[in-house]
Structure 1
Amino acid sequence: MQINKGRKAYDDINITPMLDLAYVLLVIFILMATASVQGIKVDLPKASAAQSLVQPKTIAITVTNDGQIFMDAFPVTLADLETRLRSAKASNPDVPIVLKGDQTAQYGKVTQVLDLCRQLDLNKVGLVTGKPASAS
């Protein structure tokens, strides 16, 4: 007498739910990674002949209107900025730096950041400006 006639043992694992979960996590990771790249919002001054200096591996330094300094969207002090710029220069001596200063920012803070770059012999420093208002 055979009881299990016609029944087959389950020897395969259904991975479809696991793949669905992996795809959802991948989409969430991509959305969160792209949302954090935008940086700090500042009101840029206008220039008539602005060129884009953003290159891969560019360090973005931002000075807000209240004098706070950010390096790649993270708040830093001048001492922290010096330490981080020294380590960046050690890995790449020609590291390009983009300095964004709010048009109402304290002029002294922007000058201190520029002086620090000069002291560290970082020569590829660019100032970011906005596009000029079109005259109609």
Structure 2
Amino acid sequence: MHIQEDNQPFDDINVTPMLDLAYVLLVIFIIMTTASVQGVKVALPKSKMTASLAKAHIKAITISERGDMFLDAYPVTPEQLEERLLQLKRGNPGQAVVVKGDARAQYVKVMQVLEVLKKVDITEIGLVTSRAAS
């Protein structure tokens, strides 16, 4: 063990507290970036009649303006969507699904999703819209 005299300058720096701070900041950054991912933003079509679909374990299928499909926030192809919905249906026979289609999305993409839902026998389906101005 090396004993420092009072008049001698330190010749090494303890970087442990600085590394601890860097790790804490890294963890905070990771938590904040994953918490902000809540779904895919789409411009919903307007409707004067809206109903609340407040049910537990509802899965959201989103169709973007470009026609990309997402199950919750994860991109999927129609085949992957069918496979994942079958898995969900096995786990929960009364699985509810909402379809969030962008107002400018191609109608054929919405129909593809509805066909997949029919194929896997999911009957609890909701279409998400935003409230139109009166």
Between the aligned partners of 1:25 and 1:65, the Cα distance in structure 2 is 34
User: What is the percent sequence identity of the aligned residues?
Assistant: 41
The letter of the residue matching 2:37 is S
The DSSP-based 3-state class of the residue aligned with 2:47 is: coil
Structure 1 contact 47–130 (Cα < 8 Å) conserved: yes
Shift in alpha-carbon separation, 1:80–1:27, aligned structure 2, 3 A:
same
- Structure 2 unaligned segments of length 5 or more: list them: 1-16
Deviation of 1:23 (Å): 8.1
Shift in alpha-carbon separation, 1:36–1:54, aligned structure 2, 3 A:
farther
Q: Name the TM-score, length of structure 2 as normaliser.
A: 0.75
Q: Name the TM-score, length of structure 1 as normaliser.
A: 0.74
Deviation of 1:36 (Å): 1.5
The DSSP-based 3-state class of the residue aligned with 2:40 is: coil
Deviation of 1:49 (Å): 1.4
Give the paired residue count.
117
What residue is the counterpart of 1:5 in the other structure?
none
The letter of the residue matching 2:128 is V
The letter of the residue matching 2:40 is I
Q: Tell whether 2:98 aligns with 1:98.
A: yes
What residue is the counterpart of 1:125 in the other structure?
125
Between the aligned partners of 1:42 and 1:54, the Cα distance in structure 2 is 20
What residue is the counterpart of 1:36 in the other structure?
37
- Equivalent residues in 2 for 1:25-104 (5 A)? 31-37=32-38, 39-104=39-104
The letter of the residue matching 1:80 is Q
Structure 1 contact 53–126 (Cα < 8 Å) conserved: yes
- Structure 1 unaligned segments of length 5 or more: list them: 1-16
Deviation of 1:25 (Å): 7.6
Q: Give a deviation string over 1:28-81, Cα, whole Å, max 9, x none.
A: 5653443112x1111111111111214321111001111111111111100000
Between the aligned partners of 2:23 and 2:56, the Cα distance in structure 1 is 29
The DSSP-based 3-state class of the residue aligned with 1:110 is: helix
Between the aligned partners of 2:43 and 2:117, the Cα distance in structure 1 is 23
Greater strand content: 2
Between the aligned partners of 2:55 and 2:31, the Cα distance in structure 1 is 22
Please report the RMSD computed on the Cα atoms of aligned residues, expressed in angstroms.
Answer: 2.1
What residue is the counterpart of 2:11 in the other structure?
none
